A and B are shown apart, each in its own frame.
Chain A
Amino acid sequence: MSIIEGRNTARGTVAAWVYLLPALIIISVFVFYPLIMAFRMSMYESYNFYKNVGTGFGFASFKRVLCDSDFHIAVKNTLFLSFVAMPVSIIISLVIALLISSIKKFQALFQTFFFLPYVTSVIAVGIVFRWLFHSNYGLINYFLGLFHIHPVAWLNNPKTTIYALAIYYIWGNLAFNTIILLVGVQNIPKMYYNAARVDGAKWGKIIFRITLPQLSPTIIFLTIVGFIASFKVYNEVYALFGDLGGAANSAYTIVFYIYRTFYGAGRMHIAAAAAVILFVAILCITIIQMLVSKKFVHYK
């Protein structure tokens, strides 16, 4: 079990613990303690957050969360972001990264250009997007109008709010994904492309057989990070819909649900139960991802 064989002496172990102690203390205070308290809170039927006193031990809070129609919306939306918006974002980023890397002039300029969203405030951009999505004055509907498509009440219609949120989320992620993928693309040795050209591969084939496999560790990294991030979407909801969570609560995400339940309603134990559910969900997905990715990813 010990990493450095033969150093597994009692003295060595004590020394290792001493070295780890500062990190362990910090982790205990800021990670384990809150985690345990959240678990604990979630197991009460009612809970006085200010005094850390609860009554009625059991799974009642979980039942409440799981039966709450707002939580159902939140789960649906979160899954949509994770399984549709996040992959779409990576695919678009990939296309952009490939395009940028294939141009010779102004590459640095475009690189900076695409990175700008990353350093811009989510909330500020949210205000801009609210106008873009506006049913009467929005640019998006203006463009749809050019193709004779009826204006969409993106933010007013409970059926379209999730698409608005997804578009905004995709846009917000492009910068980071594109930069990381661009670095990945630029790190692929040029000789593979030369070899593939000599081997007579067309560009489509080069992308699918050379570029993508070479990028697979980067893509899997972005997928894991993206998955976890998409499970924690909150800012975007707030930026587009304010603290109401969209028409008829239609833009709720799981974290937004937790936030609203915690600070808005002050029902901390319910929020904690939702947080525990989220924690378990992320844990499971991450484990599955790790197992699956081992099969498909080429690590150098």
Chain B
Amino acid sequence: MKKMMLIILSLFLLGSTVFASGQQEEPKKEDAKSKEPAKAEVVSINKEISSPVTVEFWHGMSAKLGETVELLADEFNQTIGAEKGITVVPVFQGGYTDLKQKLTASIKAGTAPVISQGYSNYIAEFMQADVVVALNDYIYDSEVGIKDFEDIFPGYRAENCQIDGKTFYSLPFNKSTEVIFYNKTFFEENGYEVPKTWDEMSALCKTIYEKTGKPGMGYDSLDNYMITMIQQFGGKYTDAQGNIYYSQNDAAVKAINLFKENFDKGYWRIAGEDKYLSGPFGNADVYMYIGSTAGASYVKPNGFEWDSAPIPYVSADKKAAIQQGTNVFLMNQNKSDEEVYAGYEFIKYLVSKDANFIWSTNTGYLPIRKSVVESPEYKKFLATTTDTTKISGPAQGDYYFYEPGFFTPNYSSYDVRVSLRAAVEDALLNGTDAKTAVDTAYGKLK
């Protein structure tokens, strides 16, 4: 016993010396912070590849998506890459959760890849390590810049420079939005119209429930429901600096109550144990669901036809639909300027019209460029595909909003999203009062 105490005590002693040294390091952080703005002002960038370089592209795209990533990388390596001496190696790291873990670990170990896929909150977090490359000098460069940058939809551009409204730390890659998936056969048999407003939605689901005993609609991502509905009810969610606004108005409470009223009566449902509603929808256990356009390929209707439509709105002047999906960004941790430049050339290719056409026609993701949407090839593709989200998704393009990604010492955008999901679940499943649930969620963050 005495020995054990001795060991524990000495551990504490050792620990305290480390604390002391840690505190001495503090000023460095201030230095790092003050350097940041200067970074954006660096004028000279390297645009030469002196000897062939190979860079990794870490992504979380599996199956068909992964194959398309490989296809794009091959295409790049054989054309631009071959010309400039760049080889891009895509590395599949598992789902987003795994990708994030592995990125965290690799940055900590000093071996981060040059190019990675990631949500804006990853980027916000990795900014702490000073490894994320600001892209403005590349994008706006007269030689190697992106000439038709304005062709990318404004919503996507805004998301990728959200930190200060002008500095780009990433470029949009696999983008999707939410739409209503509905059972077209069932709707036609009963003469139902796809609801345009939430009032219509509630009314229709009541009718469906009374007729079939099954819920009319389900919502895949309760986080997205909350973020979207806070906008639709005229509230504000957060900003990119990490200020939280949803607690200052009743939009969040209204959103929860709307769901709760319908949920309690059995008109609406959540994914819950099914994880995604594409399954129950395919089995006609629910006749509509709101989910990501990227999930269209998982809809396997069992003896009916399906269609999609834009999500409902509260009032026509406050339409809002989330634009989601990850972006691509560059990291320069222990990497040469040439490698970073090579990475830039690849992400520039990924957002190019050609690559984005290949990407959005081979996967469930949506075009990020106006020119792709308007191209005759894309129109031809739309005529042949059964995936109507390719139409209903972009139809919401005028009122896309994005979820700000940020990282503060006490909470990140991820925490805000997760706590709101917990709040709505708490209200639906535990019967907690909506206001209390929202306050609890907000209280957790502070």
On whether A and B touch (CB less than 8 Å), the answer reads yes
Partner of A264, one of B22, B272, B418: B418
Interface flag for A153 (CB, 8 Å): yes
Can you name the residue of chain B whose Cβ is closest to the Cβ of A42?
A: B15
Q: Contact between A52 and B414 (Cβ–Cβ < 8 Å)? A: no
Counting chain B residues whose Cβ lies within 8 A of the other chain, the interface size class is 35 or more
Q: Contact between B440 and A158 (Cβ–Cβ < 8 Å)? A: no
Q: Contact between A46 and B409 (Cβ–Cβ < 8 Å)? A: yes
Q: Contact between A263 and B100 (Cβ–Cβ < 8 Å)? A: yes
Q: Contact between A53 and B412 (Cβ–Cβ < 8 Å)? A: no
Interface of B, helix, strand, loop or mixed by DSSP = helix
Interface flag for B128 (CB, 8 Å): yes
- Given known contacts A48-B29, A51-B129, A266-B414, is B444 in contact with A70 (CB within 8 Å)? yes
Interface flag for B211 (CB, 8 Å): no
In whole Å, how far is B444's beta carbon from the nearest beta carbon of chain A?
A: 6
Q: Contact between B409 and A45 (Cβ–Cβ < 8 Å)? A: yes
Interface flag for A12 (CB, 8 Å): no
Interface flag for A69 (CB, 8 Å): yes
Interface flag for A147 (CB, 8 Å): no
Partner of A68, one of B101, B125, B128, B444: B444
Q: Digitize A151-179: 1 where CB-to-B-CB distance is under 8 Å, 0 elsewhere.
A: 00111111100000000000000000000
In angstroms, Cα B423 to Cα A158, docked, is 12
Q: Digitize A257-294: 1 where CB-to-B-CB distance is under 8 Å, 0 elsewhere.
A: 00000011111000000000000000000000000000
Contacting residues, chain B, for A157 (C-beta < 8 A): 429
- Given known contacts A45-B409, A50-B128, A51-B128, is B415 in contact with A265 (CB within 8 Å)? yes
Interface flag for B273 (CB, 8 Å): yes
In angstroms, Cα B45 to Cα A167, docked, is 59
Q: Contact between B273 and A155 (Cβ–Cβ < 8 Å)? A: yes
Interface flag for A111 (CB, 8 Å): no
- Given known contacts A36-B11, A248-B422, is B29 in contact with A53 (CB within 8 Å)? yes
Interface flag for B28 (CB, 8 Å): yes
Contacting residues, chain B, for A156 (C-beta < 8 A): 270, 272-273, 429
Q: Contact between B97 and A40 (Cβ–Cβ < 8 Å)? A: no
Can you name the residue of chain A whose Cβ is closest to the Cβ of B102?
A: A263
B residues 357-410 touching A (CB-CB < 8 Å): 407, 409-410
Contacting residues, chain B, for A158 (C-beta < 8 A): 425-426, 429-430
Q: Contact between A263 and B29 (Cβ–Cβ < 8 Å)? A: no
Q: Contact between A248 and B28 (Cβ–Cβ < 8 Å)? A: no
Q: Contact between B273 and A263 (Cβ–Cβ < 8 Å)? A: no
In whole Å, how far is B123's beta carbon from the nearest beta carbon of chain A?
A: 11
Q: Contact between B425 and A50 (Cβ–Cβ < 8 Å)? A: no
Q: Contact between B409 and A134 (Cβ–Cβ < 8 Å)? A: no
Partner of B22, one of A50, A52, A64, A267: A52
Q: Digitize A236-271: 1 where CB-to-B-CB distance is under 8 Å, 0 elsewhere.
A: 000000111001110000000000000111110000
Interface flag for B411 (CB, 8 Å): yes
- Given known contacts A32-B11, A156-B429, A247-B429, is B444 in contact with A266 (CB within 8 Å)? no
Q: Digitize B32-63: 1 where CB-to-A-CB distance is under 8 Å, 0 elsewhere.
A: 10000000000000000000000000000000
A residues 66-124 touching B (CB-CB < 8 Å): 68-70
A residues 113-153 touching B (CB-CB < 8 Å): 130, 133-136, 153
Q: Contact between B22 and A40 (Cβ–Cβ < 8 Å)? A: yes
Interface flag for A196 (CB, 8 Å): no
A residues 37-58 touching B (CB-CB < 8 Å): 37, 39-40, 43-55, 57
B residues 425-442 touching A (CB-CB < 8 Å): 425-426, 429-430, 440
Can you name the residue of chain B whose Cβ is closest to the Cβ of A45?
A: B409
Q: Contact between A50 and B129 (Cβ–Cβ < 8 Å)? A: yes
In angstroms, Cα B371 to Cα A165, docked, is 51
- Given known contacts A53-B26, A158-B425, A265-B414, is B125 in contact with A40 (CB within 8 Å)? no
Interface flag for A210 (CB, 8 Å): no
**A-B contacts, 19 listed (Cβ < 8 Å):** A32-B14, A37-B18, A40-B19, A40-B22, A45-B409, A48-B128, A50-B107, A50-B128, A51-B130, A52-B22, A54-B26, A57-B19, A57-B23, A247-B425, A248-B426, A263-B100, A265-B412, A267-B409, A267-B410
B interface vs A, CB < 8 Å?
11-12, 14-15, 18-19, 22-23, 25-26, 28-29, 32, 97, 100-101, 104, 107-108, 125-126, 128-131, 270, 272-275, 285, 407, 409-412, 414-415, 418, 421-422, 425-426, 429-430, 440, 444
A interface vs B, CB < 8 Å?
32, 35-37, 39-40, 43-55, 57, 64, 68-70, 130, 133-136, 153-159, 242-244, 247-249, 263-267
